[in-house]
């Protein structure tokens, strides 16, 4: 069978370029109102701020206060009378941007700073919940399992999960489950896809219903996403893409099977997607960088390095070329010291999630 993959040749970065990434992201984050307008297209702006600030929080403990006031003021201009939040001022509210805004506010511990009316925003989310348990993204009515996660995740962060019938919501998520590979698609009967698997597992984790899936079958399918380059794809026959490091690794972490992939090979792929000049990460080695892939490069490294530093006795597989310019043992330790722990369900720093009362379920082998 032909494997679609990328070549890992030429001079590719082999170390984490931490200060370059901070510099790259600060161009977006500093003085947010002005720079976000220039650098992040409007229809994505709220999510762009979430990707950028979360990435910075992972690397920089002093980041906190710098852009806080500007960013909270920007969010306030996006809150609609119905409680929904838009990507930018003057745009229509949408569940995805409402979720991004709530994630940003929780990370700044600003839920009670009078930016939103929590009751109204919970009611907005409830208004998008249909009687079959599915979620629409906005009043146009499109249904997708991504919106189920955005709805459940938003309400969990607001402390308002009791606003909806959670069991019914999860029953709908389970309608999108594929018994053939243990994965999930965007709607009932749709093909499995790693991004949608992440959304489904995160929803099941929040609801404490992970026992409804076949974790071994799904873990196997997820581990098969790894290609010879070390990178991961989102479904069979596709090229590797850095953002799948996150969708796949977060999924494997939730089901307690992160060690089913070759983390050393993946480390090499992730580091190779950095841009040595500008900072930031792209989808594949040599490609253009953006804040989205920069966040998911860092979160992938966070999951891998923190799991590794918890288990320092784990050996490097014998088939690893020790001449490849990598000092694996030291790399893992130094990366875990530079990047904070990420929460695999919410994609927010673990210290922020620890401040909340949210209970999450994880499986173990």
Residue 44 touches which member of Zn ion, ligand 3PZ, none, C-beta under 5-8 Å by kind: ligand 3PZ
Using the rule CB under 6 A, give the single segment among 58-66, 82-90, 216-224, 285-293 that binds ligand 3PZ. 285-293
C-alpha to C-alpha distance for 174 and 145, rounded to whole angstroms: 10
To the nearest 10 degrees (0 to 180), the angle between helices 95-107 and 145-158 is 30
Residue 184 CB coordination number (10 Å): 30
Residue 244 CB, shortest distance to ligand 3PZ, in Å, is 8
Residue 310 CB, shortest distance to Zn ion, in Å, is 28
* Contact partners, residue 19, CB within 8 Å, separation at least 6: 279
Q: Which of 36, 292, 326, 332 binds ligand 3PZ (CB under 6 A)?
A: 292
Residue with tokens 């369900």: 345
Residue 40 CB, shortest distance to ligand 3PZ, in Å, is 7
Residue 70 or 290 having the CB closest to ligand 3PZ: 290
Residue 149 is a binding residue for ligand 3PZ (CB under 6 A) = no
Residue 6 CB, shortest distance to ligand 3PZ, in Å, is 13
Q: Which of 70, 138, 144, 241 binds Zn ion (CB under 5 A)?
A: 241
Token code pair at residue 194: 């790693």
DSSP structure class, residue 314:
P
Residue 70 is a binding residue for Zn ion (CB under 5 A) = no
* CA end-to-end distance (rounded Å), the chain: 31
Residue 51 or 308 having the CB closest to Zn ion: 51
Interaction residues for Zn ion, span 320-339 (CB under 5 A): none
Q: Which helix (H) or strand (E) holds 124?
A: helix 118-127
Q: Which of 280, 291, 300, 344 binds ligand 3PZ (CB under 6 A)?
A: 291
Residue 150 or 339 having the CB closest to ligand 3PZ: 150
Residue 106 is a binding residue for Zn ion (CB under 5 A) = no
The binding track of 267-286 with respect to Zn ion, each residue x by CB under 5 A or -, is: ----------------x---
Residue 241 is a binding residue for ligand 3PZ (CB under 6 A) = yes
Residue 86 and residue 93 in contact, taking contact as beta carbons nearer than 8 Å: yes
Using the rule CB under 5 A, give the single segment among 46-54, 240-248, 258-266, 338-346 that binds Zn ion. 240-248
User: Pick from 265, 256, 237, 240: which is nearest to 331 by CA?
Assistant: 265
Token code pair at residue 225: 């996403």
- Give CA 142 to chain center in angstroms: 22
Residue 202 CB, shortest distance to Zn ion, in Å, is 18
Residue 275 or 283 having the CB closest to Zn ion: 283
The alpha-carbon radius of gyration of the chain (Å, integer) is 20
User: Pick from 294, 153, 100, 30: which is nearest to 88 by CA?
Assistant: 100
DSSP structure class, residue 78:
T
Q: Which of 243, 252, 261, 342 binds Zn ion (CB under 5 A)?
A: 243
- How many residues are recorded in the chain? 365
Residue 136 is a binding residue for ligand 3PZ (CB under 6 A) = no
Question: Which residues bind to Zn ion, rule: CB under 5 A?
Answer: 241, 243, 283
């Amino acid at each position: 069978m032909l494997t679609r993959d990328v070549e890992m040749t030429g001079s590719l970065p082999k170390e984490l370029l931490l200060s370059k990434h901070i510099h790259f992201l600060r161009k977006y984050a500093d003085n947010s109102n002005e720079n976000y307008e220039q650098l992040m297209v409007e229809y994505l702006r709220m999510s762009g701020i979430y990707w950028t600030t979360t990435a910075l929080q992972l690397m920089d403990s002093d980041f906190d206060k710098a852009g806080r006031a500007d960013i909270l003021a920007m969010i306030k201009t996006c809150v609609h009378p119905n409680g929904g939040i838009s990507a930018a001022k003057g745009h229509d509210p949408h569940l995805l941007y409402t979720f991004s805004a709530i994630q940003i506010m929780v990370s700044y511990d600003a839920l009670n700073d009078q930016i939103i009316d929590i009751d109204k925003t919970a009611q907005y989310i409830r208004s998008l919940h249909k009687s079959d348990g599915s979620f629409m993204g906005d009043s146009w009515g499109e249904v997708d399992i991504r919106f189920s996660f955005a709805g459940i995740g938003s309400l969990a962060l607001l402390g308002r999960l009791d606003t909806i019938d959670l069991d019914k919501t999860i029953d709908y998520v389970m309608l999108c489950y594929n018994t053939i590979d243990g994965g999930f698609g965007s709607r009932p009967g749709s093909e499995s896809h790693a991004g949608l698997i992440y959304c489904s597992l995160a929803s099941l984790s929040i609801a404490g219903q992970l026992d409804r899936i076949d974790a071994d079958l799904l873990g196997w399918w997820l581990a098969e996403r790894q290609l010879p380059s070390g990178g991961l794809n989102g479904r069979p026959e596709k090229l590797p893409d850095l953002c799948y490091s996150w969708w796949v690794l977060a999924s494997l972490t939730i089901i307690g099977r992160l060690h089913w992939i070759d983390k050393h090979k993946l480390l090499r792929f992730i580091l190779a997607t950095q841009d040595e000049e500008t900072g930031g990460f792209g989808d594949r080695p040599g490609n253009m960088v953006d804040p989205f892939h920069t966040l998911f490069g860092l979160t992938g490294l966070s999951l891998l390095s923190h799991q590794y530093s918890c288990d320092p006795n784990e050996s490097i597989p014998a088939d690893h070329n020790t001449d490849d310019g990598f000092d694996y043992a030291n790399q893992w330790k130094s990366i875990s010291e530079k990047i904070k722990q990420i929460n695999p369900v919410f994609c927010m720093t673990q210290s922020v999630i620890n401040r909340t009362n949210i209970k999450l379920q994880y499986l173990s082998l």
